[in-house]
């Protein structure tokens, strides 16, 4: 493969002040490195990106400056309010920007992201996803969703409405921009499908060769079609996602290919913006709960960390509680939670919600930490509950892929168990688009025969009568 040379500018220098740190043993490494596991085996974290009492990177026109070092003392209350208000003003101003990275629903929050030079940012205005009010207390047909789960104030944050149809684009814009910054020669990932589609698109935009490792026969058609169309090279791996993950980690390390799975801390840094954006959409009035599907636990980790940070720096008064929802038979995180975190054992995963069909989640320790810190909960829902919830979302005209519906199924279970109280406000995260996984849609209405003239009129009348009867 031929690799173009790129203008380097001060690219890598912008990251020179950042470190990867190990939460287990305290070791650290330069954040321009391509190994994302500490020698002790624990995935590295990116050191704290929180601005201190004086937000360092607030200039609209200036390039991002190096982030402050880790270990900030927590600002005092009045300082938190001041920092929070300053950041809110920056974020609000960028809502009116039409072009450039500031128009992105990720880079809008640049003060809370790794400091990258504008010239290296690979962005397509990702994020900016809708927050749909579907609570039982809302007017209109969408209220059926809130009524189904018994919540008056319910919102669906639809991350499936990102450029490639999943939340993965938020992390991918950051990690691909880092790949360009450090002059990576090629990028790779293992994927159940959505990561592959996102990586393929962003690598194409960045002019980088892309390799995607897919578990053979276990990737939904829409996602496969995207990866092929965007020009990634596909490597089919026998086994499941976890096998593909092990293989890509080994290969990437041997060949010096930049790994873009969520073990890459920059992916999680980008995913944090899901939380910042939903909070901004709610006018910085935090909901009581944020509920999300859980597979590899990258989103649980990233969104949880962002909500806690948002409270620490005064963007919101208090972090919401986090509820992480797994599918039965792909539930190692739930099993560990239910056992009081006494143990953690990977499982052989088996759920029809393919995006969360993961038995050995990479971000277990990080996810556990944020569940504990937000007084959160972990639940599991059956495939039947997932598909029942998906039908509600689909029939409302919104639609989502099966794994996304685990969030709504989780809200329903937690409400009926009395864990989510009546009157509490809830944001459920939908992670992927309806068209990602069309194999899983069961048609209730057959297309019918090719009718014409009076036959056609009679058929339509019969259909309308059936609707009236419902």
Positions touching Zn ion (CB under 5 A) are 22, 24-25, 27, 38, 40, 42
Minimum CB–partner distance for residue 409 and Zn ion (Å): 36
- Closer of 24 and 438 to Zn ion (Cβ): 24
Minimum CB–partner distance for residue 25 and Zn ion (Å): 3
Q: Which of 418, 166, 191 is nearest to 296 (CA)?
A: 191
- Closer of 25 and 421 to Zn ion (Cβ): 25
- Closer of 40 and 417 to Zn ion (Cβ): 40
Minimum CB–partner distance for residue 35 and Zn ion (Å): 12
Minimum CB–partner distance for residue 263 and Zn ion (Å): 14
- Closer of 25 and 459 to Zn ion (Cβ): 25
- Closer of 38 and 286 to Zn ion (Cβ): 38
Three-state SS letters, the chain: CCCCCCCCCCHHHHHCCCEEECCCCCCEEECCCCCCECCCCCECEECCCCCCCCCCCCCCCCCCCCCCCCCCCCCCHHHHHHHHHHHHHHHHHHCCCCCCHHHCCCHHHHHHCCCCCHHHCCCCCCCCCCEEECCCCCCCCCHHHHHHHCCCEEEEEEHHHCCCCECHHHHHHHHHHHHHHCCCCCEEEECCCHHHHHHHHHHHHHCCCEEEEEECCCCCHHHHHHHHHCCCEEEEECCCHHHHHHHHHHHHHHHCCEECCCCCHHHHHHHCHHHHHHHHHCCCCCCCEEEEECCCCHHHHHHHHHHHHHHHCCCCCCCCEEEEEEECCECHHHHHHHCCCCCCCCCCCCCCCHHHCCCCCCCHHHHHHHHHHCCCEEEEECHHHHHHHHHHHHHCCCCCCHHHHHHHHHHHHHHHCCCCCCCCEEEEEECECHHHHHHHCCCCCCCCCCCCHHHHHHHHHHHHHHHHHC
Q: Count the neighbouring beta carbons within 10 Å of the beta carbon of residue 103.
A: 18
- Closer of 48 and 424 to Zn ion (Cβ): 48
Q: Answer for the pair 180, 120: CB distance below 8 angstroms, yes or no.
A: yes
Q: Answer for the pair 430, 393: CB distance below 8 angstroms, yes or no.
A: yes
- Closer of 35 and 352 to Zn ion (Cβ): 35
Q: Cα separation of 73 and 52, whole Å?
A: 8
Hey, which residues does 132 pair with through a beta bridge? Answer: 156
- Closer of 43 and 160 to Zn ion (Cβ): 43
Phi and psi torsions of 347, nearest 5°: -125, 165
Q: Answer for the pair 178, 8: CB distance below 8 angstroms, yes or no.
A: no
- Closer of 36 and 258 to Zn ion (Cβ): 36
Minimum CB–partner distance for residue 93 and Zn ion (Å): 40
- Closer of 325 and 369 to Zn ion (Cβ): 369
- Closer of 46 and 379 to Zn ion (Cβ): 46
Minimum CB–partner distance for residue 340 and Zn ion (Å): 25
């Amino acid at each position: 493969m031929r690799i173009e040379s790129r203008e380097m500018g001060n690219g890598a220098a912008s990251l020179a002040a950042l470190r990867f740190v190990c939460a287990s043993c305290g070791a650290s490494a330069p954040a321009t490195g391509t190994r994302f596991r500490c020698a002790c085996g624990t995935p590295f974290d990116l050191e704290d990106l929180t601005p201190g009492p004086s937000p360092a990177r607030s200039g609209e026109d200036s390039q991002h400056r190096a982030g402050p070092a880790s270990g900030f003392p927590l600002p005092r209350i009045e300082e938190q309010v001041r920092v929070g208000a300053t950041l809110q003003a920056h974020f609000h101003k960028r809502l009116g920007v039409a072009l450039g990275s500031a128009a992105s629903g990720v880079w809008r929050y640049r003060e809370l992201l790794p400091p990258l030079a504008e010239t290296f940012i690979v962005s397509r205005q990702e994020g900016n996803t809708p927050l749909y009010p579907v609570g039982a207390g809302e007017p209109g047909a969408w209220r059926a969703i809130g009524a189904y789960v018994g919540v008056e104030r319910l919102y669906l944050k639809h991350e499936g409405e990102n450029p490639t149809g999943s939340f993965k684009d938020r992390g991918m814009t950051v990690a691909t921009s880092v790949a360009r910054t450090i002059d990576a020669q090629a990028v790779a990932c293992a994927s159940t499908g959505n990561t592959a589609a996102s990586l393929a698109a962003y690598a194409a935009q960045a002019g980088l060769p892309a390799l995607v490792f897919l578990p053979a026969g276990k990737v939904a058609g829409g996602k496969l079609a995207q990866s092929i169309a965007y020009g990634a090279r596909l490597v089919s791996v026998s086994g499941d996602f976890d096998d593909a993950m092990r293989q890509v980690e080994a290969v990437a390390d041997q060949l010096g290919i930049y790994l873009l799975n969520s073990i890459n801390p920059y992916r999680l840094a980008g995913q944090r913006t899901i939380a910042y954006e939903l909070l901004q959409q709610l006018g910085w009035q935090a909901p009581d709960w944020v509920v999300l599907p859980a597979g590899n636990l990258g989103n649980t980790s990233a969104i949880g960390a962002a909500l806690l940070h948002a409270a620490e720096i005064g963007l919101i008064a208090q972090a919401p509680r986090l509820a992480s929802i797994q599918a039965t038979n792909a539930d190692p995180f739930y099993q560990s939670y239910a056992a009081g975190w006494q143990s953690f054992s990977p499982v052989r995963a088996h759920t029809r919600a393919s995006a969360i069909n993961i038995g050995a989640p990479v971000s277990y320790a990080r996810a556990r930490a944020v569940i504990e810190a937000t007084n959160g909960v972990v639940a599991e829902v059956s495939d039947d509950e997932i598909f029942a919830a998906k039908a509600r979302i689909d029939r409302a005209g919104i639609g989502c892929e099966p794994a996304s519906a685990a969030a709504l199924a989780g809200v329903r279970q937690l409400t009926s168990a009395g864990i989510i109280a009546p009157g509490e406000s809830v944001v459920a995260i939908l992670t992927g688009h309806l068209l990602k996984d069309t194999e899983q849609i069961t048609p209730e209405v057959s297309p019918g025969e090719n009718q014409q003239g009076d036959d056609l009129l009679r058929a339509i009348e019969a259909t309308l009568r059936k609707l009236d009867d419902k």
